Amino acid sequence: MKNATPTVLPLFSAIHPDHIVEQVKEFIEKANKAIDKICNTATPSWHTVLQPLEDLSAKEAILWGPIRHLNNVESFPELRAAYDEALTLWTAYHDAIGQNTRLYQIIARIKENPAFEALTKAQKTVINHALRDFHLSGVDLDDDKKEQYRDMSEELASLASKFGANVLDATKAYTRALHHEEELSGLPDWLITETKKKKKDLPILTLAAPIYSAVMQFADHRPLREDMYVAYVTRASDVGPFAEKWDNGPIMRKILKLRNELAKLLSFENYAELSLATKMAPSSVEVLAFLSALAEKATPIAKKEMAELKAFAKEQSGLSAVQPWDLAYYSEKLQLQKYAYSSEELRAYFPLPKVLAGLFELLEKLFSIQLVPQENFDRWHEDALLYQIQNKEGHVCGHLYLDLYARPGKQQGAWADECVPRYRDGAGQLHLPITFVACNFSRPGENTPSLLTHNDVMTLFHEFGHALHYLLTEIDEPSVAGTNGVAWDAVEFPSQLMENWCWSEEVLTAISSHYQTGESLPKALYEKLLASKHYHCGLDLARQLEFSLFDFRIHLHYNGQSPKWIQTTLDAVRRLVAVTPIPHYNRFQNSFTHIFDGGYDAGYYSYKWAEVLSADAFQRFEQEGLYNGTLGQEFKDKILSRGGSEDAMDLFVDFVGRKPQIDALLVSLGIKD
């Protein structure tokens, strides 16, 4: 990238809560003046209208991306308050742009001009998306309704932020001390070491994902598992250890009400229909048919698997009734009996540094890129790592930050996010992308590295799929570069695709090294892992369908129902697809951040929708070579590099040669031979 400007990395240490709101106000003031100037141009064209707007979009990302990231990974009250206030300002700013009739009309004139046909595909897409988004932002409404839209939009942004903050606070608040020796039975050594309180040398459990999962899988002490389960499934709700303190119930109801009102204001039947306006799926009918078809395949298998698990628990422990806090525990024990290996045995072979090195080697072979570690950079936390991405010619094509360990104040889960998009500014200078990947893996011990489960490995590969989408884009317009402008139900395509390499013997050998002996994953152990690939595939799919159907139904059918309606809708979905016991106090929905604070509203089905794309596309790699650099380059050229500049289905067909077929997914999931 010889013509790229030198990358300016964010100064996280210079981000202070006291300055954030003023910085955002200053940006918005300058941006509004620039937009007024654009609206007064006498010769509307790409260069006089869209290019300045793209520049503004990129500059906004440069300011806001690091702040948003800091709020996700190092949240504290002062930062959160400033973030929320600034988020309200951003929402109002974007709503005003989306309802700017003069700006809409001038862009529409560019579309109608014969010169439009001479623009690049990406530039045409930017214009088409902009015109679509004007309508979705209420540009056609009268002034009173425009104001209603803006008020609802601002309130929704505030409510979503509050929802996420409540989940974080409720998660952080819970601790459980282990006072008795019997409570330690079955727990892995790394967990006991990680959770010991320094002064009293007493293990203190939290609801951090690695700790919670390990307790549910391995703790022999059943009351401990029950305590942890109850605390986890009642977070941010009206029941449980912190009943009503951070209750998201009223927030959920308000969010659904406002989303429904917003959709109807824009002349949609419901919020699900509004959501689909920017997705691949053509209609609610098709989404429900897709999910129902999967449910029809999954449910009989899930029931059979659940019956086997119940019989096993009764045989092992005399349990007459398996409870939710027993599922992961006996599932682990049954897996050990069936396949003669445990998750903890696998963990020893996946120290994080070795997994990263092996992953980087795979990326080099597939996409001809190198990740070069950087030492001197401004960190938000000592955990942060930075890599420079170089192509085969040695040219820099972006930067990647990693933040991989769980800690208090950090959002749970795993994600990739844009810090700076790739873009070419009005002066012709190319700016390169900067991307974040965050996970919540267990921390290294005094004498041991962070050890990953196989699921952790898949999570890491998944998030790197998103990062590649950001980093390997070759689109110069930021609003359609990387994942920007990609249909939401296609965004997960590259990330789901990357997970497939986690089942290859060659790849697992390359990314594994026993943390004590240095031995790669033995062939015998690999064969056991592979044999268990579809273990509880029905139960896993049924759970994902529960999430997807619940999400879609509440956004499709909401119409001012009673406060209990959300729970009754979830109960109805569970009667349809769930086969595991679920207690009456379970408030999973109250911490479902994906759909109430994560952008997956009426779109959680996207994970399975995109998995159809990934399973189908991966067949080419299975046939032509998992390390096939020529094929990897083709995937980069036809999918990753194109970002959102072209229709997602057209890009898929260009790579695979036909439209996606669900059979590949069913085979991948073990539902079909």
Bridge partner residues of 205 (DSSP): 176
φ, ψ (nearest 5 deg) of residue 178: -105, 100
Backbone angles phi and psi of 670, in degrees to 5: 85, 10
Give catalytic status of residue 463 as yes or no: yes
- Using an 8 Å Cβ cutoff, are 521 and 509 in contact? yes
What is the C-alpha to C-alpha distance for residues 642 and 493, in angstroms, rounded to an integer? 13
Q: Is the dihedral of CA 545, 551, 555, 561 positive or negative?
A: positive
Q: How far apart, in Å, are the Cα atoms of 101 and each of 52, 132, 142, 506?
A: 18, 13, 11, 57
Among residues 463, 492, 611, 646, the one annotated as catalytic is: 463
- Residues, the chain, total? 673
Q: How far apart are alpha carbons 627 and 363 in whole angstroms?
A: 9
Give the span between the Cα atoms of 564 and 621, in whole angstroms. 48
| CA-wise closest residue to 397 among 300, 334, 295, 472 | 472
The Cα 61–Cα 54 span in angstroms is: 11
Beta carbons of 39 and 100 less than 8 angstroms apart: yes
Calpha distance 467→354 (Å, rounded): 19
Rounded Cα gap, residues 356 and 362, in angstroms: 10
What is the spatial distance between Cα 20 and Cα 595, in angstroms, rounded to a whole number?
27
Residues 6+ apart with CB under 8 A from 640: 367, 468, 469, 472, 473, 494
What CA–CA distance (Å, rounded) separates 466 from 88?
27
Catalytic site positions: 463
